[in-house]
Structure 1
Amino acid sequence: MIPLDGSPEALALRSAYDEQIRSRPGSANGGRIERLGALIRKVGFEGDGFLQYLGGLDGAELDQLIADQVEYFGKLGTRVEWKYYSHDLPADLPARLTAAGFVPDEEECLLIGDVAELASDVVLPEGIRLREITSRADLERMQAMEEEVWGHSHSWLPDALTAAIADDDPATVVVAETDEDDPKVVCGSWIRFHTGTDFASLWGGSTLPEWRGRGIYRAQVAYRRNLAVERGYKYLQVDASPDSRGILARLGLRPVSVTVPYIWKPGS
């Protein structure tokens, strides 16, 4: 676990993220969004739910808010994720979620960087090129790479990225591929530009095992950083897995919080 950056600069980045990103509804992935006082509730892509807590409640009030969500999604018969941040208050929020039947999933690290402080050099190994993609055929090639990496279906990916490219917070999808007549996708990622904010966010970055350790993921971060600069964005944000958080921290993004998806499913 990377120690969190508690410097004034990092805390200012985290505060800006809370104010500009966590407090905005964002996209429901084709579903619906509700603002419920201290909570943003989404029922979105394929019916799953998502809960973004904005803080300010404690005690019985908070317990009732949690219980209301269990009741709501119980009636729908769908799973829901409550996204918890380690700087959320009250400190016993995880225990309250667990008591209501939510189960913690794998933690990630929220990293944020000022684009002016991040590397801009896109350095690729010989025989690899980066390319922005939009076509269905290219997105399906990226899907095939993801399935080779993770060993399970990513059939949702082409539709989800097609929608993201045309969203109000538009995405740009980037692949690294071999430089040959019949190129093979070896890494894929995307960046979303959050309209009306200072933030762009980084997503993806899966790399085929035989191509890891050659700087491809790092090059994709730098490339997407440069896209953010071109569009006038000030900060980059990413929820990083254990595999990538160290790389991102070395590239200059600051670890400012730990995020944990708390999942509730019917029958919990």
Structure 2
Amino acid sequence: MVTGPRDLGVGGDELDQLIVRQRDYFAARGEAVEWKTRGHDRPADLTDRLRAAGFVPEKQETVLIGLAKEVATPPVLPGGVALRQVTADADMHRIAAMQSAVWGQDFSWLGDDLIGRVSAAPDAIAVMVAEADGEVVCAAWLVFYPGTEFAALWGGSTLPAWQGRGIYRSLVAARAELATARGAKFLQVDASDDSAPILRRLGFRAVTTTTPYVWSPSHR
């Protein structure tokens, strides 16, 4: 993933060259890359230049901020569902399989990504699953940003048969408890249209939007 400050400090040809350098770095590795843009980014023509370099926009999301302490309420789960924090490689692959089932796409890369992040910086990420009869029905993770008062909520996909039963909301609450225990004051979420209403009801407020621009070898 590529991300940066609100103003990259370059424009015109310099910005084009910056974009191409990032794209070509991942192209040489045979990997896709996501450039995360936000609604307040500068320069204003950043997204036009990303498109010109072969990046394709995905669905816009809403960036929401909430107070961790206010969200850290006891989770309320449906019968037969339990939450668990996980670190084992096998659990990360189970999460990837669940994501693949939810979205109908190959998310096998996610297992390796989570394994790598937990291995490299175990104190910077907390991965949680909701399980029923030994099956992962939802998974989400909490990412800490040392030196700031923020932690970020990621994931939250739920198997269709288990949607609408409070599991996503329970994982938000459980992660908020972890964030509060670690001294994080604020929670940040890049929310889909499905999860944004739930988060707003929990007190989160919208501050901007974000749109991923993705380049992959298949876009050539």
TM normalised by structure 2 equals 0.85
Quick check: 1:50–1:81 contact (8 Å CA) kept in 2?
Answer: yes
Unaligned runs of 5+ in 1: 1-48
Match of 1:170? 124
Unaligned runs of 5+ in 2: none
Quick check: 1:51–1:80 contact (8 Å CA) kept in 2?
Answer: no
Q: Pairwise mapping of residues 136-215 of structure 1 onto structure 2 (< 5 A)?
A: 136-168=89-121, 170-178=124-132, 180=133, 183-215=134-166
Which protein is bigger by CA-based radius of gyration? 1
- Partner of residue 63 from structure 1, selected from 3, 8, 12: 12
Alpha carbons of structure 1 residues 132 and 66: separation in structure 2 relative to 1, 3 Å: same
Match of 1:106? 59
Match of 2:178? 227
Alpha-carbon offset, residue 265 of structure 1 = 5.5
Match of 1:20? none
Q: Give the Cα–Cα distance (whole angstroms) in 1 for the partners of residues 98 and 35 of structure 2.
A: 30
Structure with more contact order per residue of length (Cα contacts < 8 Å, sep ≥ 6): 2
> SS where residue 66 of structure 1 aligns?
helix
Alpha-carbon offset, residue 117 of structure 1 = 2.8
Q: Which letter maps to 2:210? A: T
Instruction: Write out per-residue CA displacement over residues 65-122 of structure 1, whole angstroms, 9 at most, x where no aligned residue.
Output: 3211244246547254332211223444434544555432211111111213325121
Instruction: Write out per-residue CA displacement over residues 34-78 of structure 1, whole angstroms, 9 at most, x where no aligned residue.
Output: xxxxxxxxxxxxxxx624244164xxx511232112442465472
Alpha carbons of structure 1 residues 94 and 143: separation in structure 2 relative to 1, 3 Å: closer
Q: Which letter maps to 1:224? A: R
Say if 2:210 is the partner of 1:256.
no
Count residues in correspondence. 214
Report the aligned-residue RMSD: 2.4
> SS where residue 176 of structure 2 aligns?
helix
Alpha carbons of structure 1 residues 63 and 113: separation in structure 2 relative to 1, 3 Å: same
Quick check: 1:186–1:208 contact (8 Å CA) kept in 2?
Answer: yes
Alpha carbons of structure 1 residues 82 and 144: separation in structure 2 relative to 1, 3 Å: closer
| Sequence identity percentage | 47
Quick check: 1:112–1:253 contact (8 Å CA) kept in 2?
Answer: yes
